[in-house]
Amino acid sequence: MLKTLIDALSLISTWEVIIAMFAASVYGLVIGSLPGLSATMATALLVPVTFYLSPIAAIATIVAASSMAIFSGDIPGALLRIPGTPASAAYADEAYAMTRKGQAELALGAGVWFSAVGGIAGVLSLMILAPPLAEIALSFSTFEYFWLALLGLMCATLVARSSPVKAIAGMFIGLLVSCIGIENPGGIPRFTFGITDLFGGIEPIPALVGVFAVAQVMRAMLTPEPPPLPRRKFGSIMAGQWTLTKKYHWQMTRGNIVGIIIGVLPGAGADMAAWVSYAMSKRFSKEPQKFGTGHVEGLVEAGASNNASIASGWVPSLLFGIPGDTIAAIAIGVLYMKGLNPGPTLFTEKASSMYAIYLMFIIANILMIPLGIAMIRVAAYILLAPRSTVMPIIMLCCAVGSFAIGNNMFGVVTVAAFGVIGYVMEANGYPVAAMVLGIVMGTMVEQAFVTSLIKSDGSILPFFERPVAAILAAMAIGALLWPVMVWVWRKVKPALTAAAATSQ
Amino acid sequence: MRLPDSVTGSFLVALGAAAAYGGWVLPPVPGQPVGPNVFPLVIGTGLALCGLAIVFGIGHSFEEEEELIPLEDGQAATAPPPQGKLYGLRALLPPALLLFYVFAADRLGFIITAAIMVYVTSSALGAKWKLALPLAALSPFAIHLIFGKLLRVPLPAGLLPTPW
């Protein structure tokens, strides 16, 4: 234990890791604070750069950039009422109301302080949950993996803020994309239409860059530019945060726990965590009438929640290769490329690397406090950059970055194609996160499914015979039937009340 | 680009049916009951069923309509930009530029292609030429410095090689 910890420390105390982490933090803060550029997009554009770094430095950049970007999205939310990332959207109104009351320092300070606390709570959950789960997961066979993957995919469709049918359709589209290529049980070219570039399949990373970055530039083409930020002088930002921590320690803890749970669920990430926690805070508050008028309570809970989900999203990613959110989906791609293939053995064979990841998360969240305060003070200047200078650079990074992944122009074509797919899906209410999950998990689902079928000789029974498999199967089928039950309930309930009314 | 559910649903039915058929015709692995054909078959069928459900409007009641944030009195209401029939097509500009990059980068070289991309995107987003031109002149060199020089991505030199 102590030896692995020392090993981990020596892994992260190289100049490469330190510089990479610092640079990625600044990058994450800037991207997160610009409205329209999300934390996922920041991470996706970072991937080509991680190719040229050592494994630990590569993960350090992702950890630092994603944590910082989630906090940084609070800044324009509080100052402009435009959330910098979707994760801040839940409480942007509240924070802006505080700014109008002259409490901008308190709102932003709560953002940075409770984000850091939430992030550290998330890491603790990762450290406590992952090793015992890895013990259990070691005894999993393909049946358990199949049901687990299915459960993950179903969760993603359940939590989508859209029609579950459209979410399931999005998931199927993602799975269909993963079918392309020769990496299948028979090694036969499948859906390649004779195009040689398609033999290797669709790389997940260019697809993600397309869906999250190019689609965003496309949306920017049709939406008006956000207003510039009025310049203002800030007082002390951290003043009063300790009082808030003592006053709202229960809300903070609840936010942390909700964030951790939502982070672990596949497909649900920081934005969902913030929405749920903000709603919960209002529901259980002693003074719910103050919500919406610039009350800090909801900010505390939701800010603690969205950052907690970032680290806990890595739990299923590291254990099973099932991404906890879209950022973790990108991280999985990087893990594979760096030879840290997700799986339970990662915790026994590469224990020092795991400890290094924990440590980097903790450092990133501590670093967030000074860097965050600095960012709040210079935000007014960064937000002066008009969209017409930022978006062209994003476009160039998309083109060069997707080319760099395989030194292949086909990557750029993939990015363009998935930009269009992501844009059209989003515009019509199909959640792209479900498709992304399908693309990332497709090969794994198919492998587990086909291997299980071969083992069972075409029979369905062995899928339910092992106890863990049976439990997971029940949960997955329950998740599949849940929307149907809700739908039926909604149809039946008005009929019942109408019947009751007529009988009276 | 908001299409009626019946259109996107029908498209999904067609896509699912095509995928299922494509899986069906794949050759099986000799001596093996399940091969590469099973998974596309399952997915294609599922996708087609989802498409049908969407056409018939099942699950539509779950969709949350997008909330429009009302403008505060402090913020000046920006006039909506002039919207012609072709206005919606502007969204296709970014992917079109990426395809332009694919075809032109090898011939024109990275610097020239990138400069054109930056200039077009920037002006499409409303930048005056005073801003777009310097941006288009400088940013390709910056990107080339990071990716080409530091990360050693082999970017095409084309007509205008970089000084380093």
Which of B54, B69, B72 lies closest to A165 in CB terms? B54
Contact predicate A73/A269, CB 8 Å:
no
Does the structure's ipTM exceed the value 0.90? no
Per-residue model confidence (pLDDT) at position A120: 92
Per-residue model confidence (pLDDT) at position B68: 42
Per-residue model confidence (pLDDT) at position B75: 41
Helix (H) or strand (E) segment spanning residue A329: helix A326-337
How many Å apart are CA A85 and CA A68, to the nearest integer?
11
Which structure tokens are listed for A498? 């109408």
Which structure tokens are listed for A253? 């803890």
Are A428 and B38 a contacting pair at CB < 8 A? no
Which structure tokens are listed for A275? 């929405």
> How far from A292 is each of A93, A205, A296, A299, A369, CA to CA, in Å?
7, 39, 10, 11, 26
Of A86 and B22, the one with more pLDDT: B22
Q: Using CB atoms and an 8 Å cut-off, which of residues 89-108 of chain A contact chain B?
A: 93
Residues in chain B closer than 8 A to A51 (CB atoms): 151
Q: CA B4: distance to chain centroid? A: 20
Helix ranges, A338-466 (H): 346-349, 351-382, 387-406, 410-427, 432-455, 462-465
Are B98 and A416 a contacting pair at CB < 8 A? yes
How many C-alpha atoms does A393 have within 13 Å on its Cβ side? 18
Q: What is the mean pLDDT of each run of 10 residues along chain A (504 residues)?
A: 82 88 91 81 86 87 90 84 78 84 85 90 89 83 85 74 82 90 79 82 84 86 73 73 84 89 80 83 83 84 89 87 84 85 83 87 91 85 79 87 82 92 89 84 84 82 84 84 76 74 66
Q: Using CB atoms and an 8 Å cut-off, which of residues 40-59 of chain A contact chain B?
A: 48-49, 51-52
Phi, psi angles (nearest 5°) of residue A181: 115, -175
Q: Where are the domains of chain A?
A: 2-225+239-503
pTM value is 0.81
Q: What is the Rg, in whole angstroms, of the alpha carbon atoms belonging to chain B?
A: 24
Reported as a single tens digit per residue, the pLDDT across A144-194 is: 888 888 888 887 776 666 777 888 899 899 999 988 888 777 777 888 888
Question: In the block, which residue shows the tokens 């999993």?
Answer: A140
Which structure tokens are listed for A91? 């409480």
Helix (H) or strand (E) segment spanning residue A498: helix A467-503
How many Å apart are CA A225 and CA A360, to the nearest integer?
36
> What 3-state class would DSSP assign to A185?
coil
Residues in chain B closer than 8 A to A487 (CB atoms): 58-59, 61
Give the model's confidence band at B62: pLDDT under 50 very low, under 70 low, under 90 confident, else very high: low
Region at A407 (left for phi over 0; alpha for psi -120 to 50; beta for the rest)? left
Per-residue model confidence (pLDDT) at position B73: 41
- The dihedral through the CA atoms of B38, B39, B43, B46 has a sign that is positive
Burial B121-134 (b: 16+ CB within 10 A, else e): bbbbbebeeeebbe
3-state secondary structure A129-172: HHHHHHHHHCCCCHHHHHHHHHHHHHHHHHHCCCCHHHHHHHHH
Are A454 and B123 a contacting pair at CB < 8 A? no
Least confident of A221-230, A279-288, B27-36, B60-69: B60-69
Per-residue model confidence (pLDDT) at position B78: 44
Reported as a single tens digit per residue, the pLDDT across A432-479 is: 888 888 888 888 888 888 888 888 877 788 888 888 888 888 888 887
Which structure tokens are listed for A243? 């009082």
Does residue A434 belong to the interface with chain B, where contact is any CB pair within 8 Å?
Answer: no
Number of CB pairs < 8 Å for A and B? Answer: 238
Q: Where are the domains of chain B?
A: 5-61, 89-150
Per-residue model confidence (pLDDT) at position B77: 40
